[in-house]
Amino acid sequence: MLEDILNLSEKSKEEINLLSPLTWAYVGDAVYELYIRTYLVNHTKLKPHKLHIESIQYVKAAAQAAKLEKIMPELTEEEQDIVRRGRNAQNHHLPKNANVTEYRYSTAFEGLIGYLYLTKQEERLMQILKMCVE
């Protein structure tokens, strides 16, 4: 089933490179949230409300910015370029629960996740997601 979901993206890598980093982040937000929720269900015995509370600790902007800082040395040059593009994307949304810097870095993090997902770099995506929960 995951393979079917990954094959939903019909765009070539060149077409994906032309998408806005905010589009990558839009997809990456959903992919990361699903990964974290699944991880918590598989590794805890929490009830739904507690699962939600715990997942927030992973998906809030400050946590994503911290995860990105942690994994930056492990990223390839291409991945670091994706992060730079995501961080510098012009987003006119004002963060509610984060400062502007955290929000920009969390957008960059989500952009990287979305980019890897859309370009079907499944193995690398899973490596990075696993680094985020270690």
> Which residues have a catalytic role annotated?
29
Q: Closest Cα to residue 117, out of 1, 40, 41, 5?
A: 5
Phi, psi angles (nearest 5°) of residue 113: -60, -45
Q: At what angle do helices 100-118 and 21-43 cross, to 10 degrees?
A: 90
